Structure formats: C-alpha cells, structure tokens
C-alpha cells in the first residue's frame, strides 16, 4: 500500500502530463484553424479578455471598422454603372452594391457582366448584394409561377458579377398577406438561388410595402424554416416604419446579410419622411452609435452599406459625395467604439 505523499506526487505528475497534452492538442487545433499567429486575426494570448480578442479580429478601413464598408449605387445615381464602380474604388470603399436595372442596362448596351465582375474585383472591391428581386413574392400560385422568369433573370445577372446575396423585395405580397405562403415562397427562392446561381437571397422590409418592419421580415425568415434565411435591415426603414431599433439586440449576426446605413433628419416629421430625405450618417437624429454597438454584439460580420436616395446629393460632385459618405460613416463607427 503506497504512502499518501507518494500518491500525491504521482497524481501531480499525471496532471502535469495531461495539461501538457491538452496545451499541445490545443495548439495543433489552433494551427489547423488558422487562429494562432494568423495575420487576419492576430495572435490570441492566454488570458486575453473578450474585448482584447475582439480587437484582434480582422478589421477594415485601416482598422477603423469591424465591417467592410459598401457603397449602394443609388447614392451616386446619375453616373453610369462602370463610373460608379470607379468612384467607389477611388473613394476607398471595400464593396459596391448595384441595382438590377443598372445590370440590365449594362447588358442591353453590349456590356458583359462577368467582365464587369472582374473589373470590380481588380479594383479591390466585391459585391455583397444586388438590389433586387422585384415582384418575387406574389400572393397566388399563378402569379408566383409567372414571376420566376424575371426572378431567375435577375439572379443570373447578380451571379454574373459575383454577388453574394440578392435582395428579395416583398412589394407584391398583398396587404393581407398569408405569412405561411410568403415564407414558403421565400424558402423556394432561397433554394433556387443556392442551387442554380450560388446566391443567397435575403429578405428586405420597406415601410411603403405590406411587409414593413424588421419584426415582420424576421417572422417570414423564421417561418421559411431554412438555415440560409436572412434579412437586410435598413436603419431608415427601421425608423420610419416605427418598428424601432431594440429588436436588433434579439438577432444573431448570421441572420443579417448586409446592413443598410444612413441617417434621418429632424424635419420633416416622421409621418412625412421619405427616402429622398435620407442624409449622411451623423447628419441626422438617429441613434447610430447605439445601433452599431448592438449590431456588433450580434456577431454580424457582413457589410455596412451606405444607401442614400437624396436628390440634393445627386446634384453634387459624385466623387465628393462618395468620399463624404465614407468619411462620415467611419466617423460614426469611431464614435461607437466598436
């Protein structure tokens, strides 16, 4: 029978050996995952706080932003699509978000969308999303079948330039829409996008359409019962639909495809605000720093996309508009300390 002291000694040696084995296996796992000493994520040391680890994750815009910053092409609408790409790249954006009408016009004028996609990538940009799948969620089976031709055409164009997502727009669901029907058709659209075009269609909400709020969009996404179901929040429509911003805290970041960013002025009144009243981030009254803090907590890692439809900006030098929009977006991100 061994003495207690000897047993404690042997037990201690076993614990040390087990600890060394654990550390060794952990290191191998870290190397396999690319998280130890990775240039993208930095070197995470033992005992780092959650805040310290977060700071070592990949950042954009010279470290200012945890998200790539995208330019929605409607912000500089009078320019041609090719010029918009050049403007975005020169201004320093990470990505660009075009509209289906622009892609259609580009093709009609003899342009090749795959070549355009290469030009976009060669300029250091990518395409997180294309706007969008109009009339894609009609209320009847006959209308649904008829809509698929245009839906596939728009998906083809988005895929040709290398888009990750395409916006599914609920403009035709009907005032008294059946959520089970809409959710089932959105699920079908996801399956078509993924299987035929390598796209992930995401659902938007707009005050002017029957599906108006983030909560209503999330209800459809949840009932679609699909692992790739996602939504695209727009802070302006979160505000003018009176759905509010608190619901953002309830989401996980992987439920959000991209995040549309802008600000709203103090006047006109809420009831009279329209898309044409959008202003640069920080020039209005929305609680943007709080919104970005909540967005960061969700774990969202996609693009923040500047989306403005202000006709006063369209009259100005568009390069300057793009540069001002990026600068003001980054100023709000700095203030949010995310």
Report phi then psi at 126, rounded to 5.
Answer: -135, 170
Alpha carbon distance 57, 121 (integer Å)? 23
**pTM of the complete model:** 0.84
Mean pLDDT of the residues in the chain? 88
User: Residue ranges per domain, the chain?
Assistant: 1-48, 59-336
What is the structure's pLDDT at 57?
78
The helix/strand/coil state of 263 is: strand
Query: Rounded distance, CA 10 to CA 156, Å?
Result: 67
Residue 310 pLDDT exceeds 50: yes
43-74 per-position pLDDT tens digit: 334 455 545 555 567 999 999 999 999 999 99
Contacts of 185 (CB under 8 A, 6+ apart): 136, 137, 144
Cβ neighbors of 13 (< 8 A, separation 6 or more) are none
Integer Cα distance of 217 and 115 in angstroms: 34
User: Closest Cα partner for 162 from 233, 204, 113?
Assistant: 113
Report how far apart the first and last C-alpha atoms of the chain are (Å, whole number): 61
State the Cα–Cα distance between residues 308 and 261, nearest whole angstrom. Answer: 8
Mean pLDDT for the stretch of residues 316-330: 98
Q: Which fold has domain 59-336?
A: TIM Barrel (3.20.20)
Residue 232 β-bridge partners: 204
Average pLDDT over residues 242-268: 97
Q: In sequence order, which residues have a C-beta less than 8 Å from that of residue 331 and are 6 or more positions away?
A: 281, 282
* DSSP reduced 3-state for 193: helix
Q: Residue 267 above 70 pLDDT? A: yes
Indicate whether 40 pLDDT > 60: no
Distances (CA, A) of 16 to 5, 11, 27, 179: 17, 9, 17, 59
């Amino acid at each position: 029978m061994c003495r207690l002291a000897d047993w404690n000694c042997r037990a201690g040696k076993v614990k040390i050996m087990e600890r060394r084995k654990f550390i060794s296996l952990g290191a191998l796992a870290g190397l396999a995952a690319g998280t130890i000493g990775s240039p993208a994520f930095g070197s995470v040391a033992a005992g780092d706080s959650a805040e310290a680890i977060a700071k070592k994750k990949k950042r954009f815009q010279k470290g200012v932003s945890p998200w790539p910053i995208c330019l929605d092409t409607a912000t500089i609408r009078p320019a041609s699509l090719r010029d918009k790409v050049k403007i975005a790249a020169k201004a320093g954006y990470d990505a660009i978000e075009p509209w289906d009408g622009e892609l259609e016009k580009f093709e009609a004028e003899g342009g090749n969308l795959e070549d355009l996609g290469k030009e976009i990538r060669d300029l250091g940009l990518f395409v997180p999303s294309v706007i969008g799948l109009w009339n894609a969620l009609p209320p009847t089976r006959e209308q649904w079948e008829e809509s698929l031709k245009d839906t596939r055409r728009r998906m083809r164009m988005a895929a040709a330039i290398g888009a990750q997502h395409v916006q599914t727009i609920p403009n035709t669901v009907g005032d008294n829409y059946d959520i089970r029907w809409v959710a089932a058709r959105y699920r079908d659209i996801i399956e078509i996008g993924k299987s035929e075009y390598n796209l992930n269609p995401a659902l938007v909400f707009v005050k002017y359409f029957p599906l108006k709020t983030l909560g209503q969009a999330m209800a459809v996404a949840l009932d679609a019962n699909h692992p790739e179901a996602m939504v695209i929040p727009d802070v302006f429509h979160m505000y003018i639909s009176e759905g509010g911003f608190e619901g953002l805290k309830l989401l996980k970041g992987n439920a959000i495809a991209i995040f549309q960013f802008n600000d709203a002025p103090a006047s006109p009144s809420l009831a009279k605000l329209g898309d044409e009243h959008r202003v640069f981030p920080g020039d209005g009254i929305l609680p943007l720093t709080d919104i970005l803090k909540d967005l960061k907590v969700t774990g969202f890692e996609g693009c923040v996309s500047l989306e403005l439809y202000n006709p006063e900006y369209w009259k100005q030098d568009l390069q300057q508009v793009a540069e001002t929009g990026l600068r003001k977006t980054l100023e709000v991100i700095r203030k949010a300390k995310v």
